[in-house]
Amino acid sequence: MSSLKLIAALLVAIVLVVFGAQNTQAVTFHFLMFKAPSAPMVLALFVAALLGALLGWIVSAPGRFRRMRERHELQGQVTAHERAAAAMNDADRSPPG
């Protein structure tokens, strides 16, 4: 699964680089009441890609933290079961008395 993600990320990066290399003309950016001076279009493309990646990472964070917490809880349960099983084995091995 991770190799598929790596291939997809490389493909997107290649497309962005090729698009940016072919669109180097200067453009003026307008956002609400703000007007930025002329800058290469590739700069806007880079900023948009960076913001998209950051937004995707932020949106996926709650799920990652939830899975991490669940994994930690399950590891604690496994450890408790292993300790209980070891204690039962020790009790079975001890001579009656």
pLDDT in tens, 64-82: 889 999 999 999 999 989 8
End-to-end CA separation in angstroms for the chain: 56
Instruction: Read off the pLDDT of each residue in 36-62 and give the average, rounded to a whole number.
Output: 86
- pLDDT at site 95: 66
Per residue in 15-44, pLDDT (tens digit) is 888 888 888 888 888 878 888 888 888 888
Predicted confidence band of residue 97 (pLDDT cuts 50, 70, 90): low
- Between helix 2-22 and helix 41-93 the angle, nearest 10°, is 170
Domain boundaries, the chain: 62-97
- On whether the pTM is more than 0.75, the answer is no
